[in-house]
Structure 1
């Protein structure tokens, strides 16, 4: 399964996005049952995209994440490329649709890029 990078502050989120051209941010809360059920499916999906790095933010620890990224519900998922948001999905995710969106963008971004 895809490795998860725990991000524990806005600074660590910024550094993560700076460090990785292709980033996927997963924002959740410990008491969110939907969050717990979606994360394994997301990790499995992202396994097909080796150049995408997965960062996890616990919104109860990094409360300012909601204001910074306009997150109103969890789980929230953001595909970020070169520090710009390209895909946003939240709460109830249709993984087939999410996969199609990621696949299209991933192919465009990585077609001439052998390494990150």
Structure 2
């Protein structure tokens, strides 16, 4: 499983994305069964990409995440390259599509 950083404030999210060239942000909520089901699969997939740093955010705890990153539903996840969004997945996550997006993003770098 890919190690991750639990981000507990909007300042931590900003710092995390600023300090890591490639950052993957996973946003969920405590009472979201889809979020909890998808997260282990995402972690496993991301373990193949050591160059990507992973941050996890609880949207109930960091309410500002919704406004700052335009998050309307959970789970939402996105990959940033130097703070610029490369792609985003939300709600109904297809792991095979996520893998293709990761592959495409890594090849373009």
Give the structure-2-normalised TM-score: 0.97
Secondary structure, counterpart of 1:6 in structure 2: strand
Gaps of 5+ in 1: 110-116
Secondary structure, counterpart of 1:11 in structure 2: helix
Partner of 1:114: none
Alignment of 1:57-72 (within 5 A): 57-72=57-72
Give the structure-1-normalised TM-score: 0.91
Number of residue pairs matched? 109
- Larger Rg over CA atoms: 1
Gaps of 5+ in 2: none
Secondary structure, counterpart of 2:106 in structure 1: helix
CA apart distance, 1:88: 0.4
Alignment of 1:87-106 (within 5 A): 87-106=87-106
> Over the residues paired in the alignment, what is the CA RMSD in angstroms?
0.7
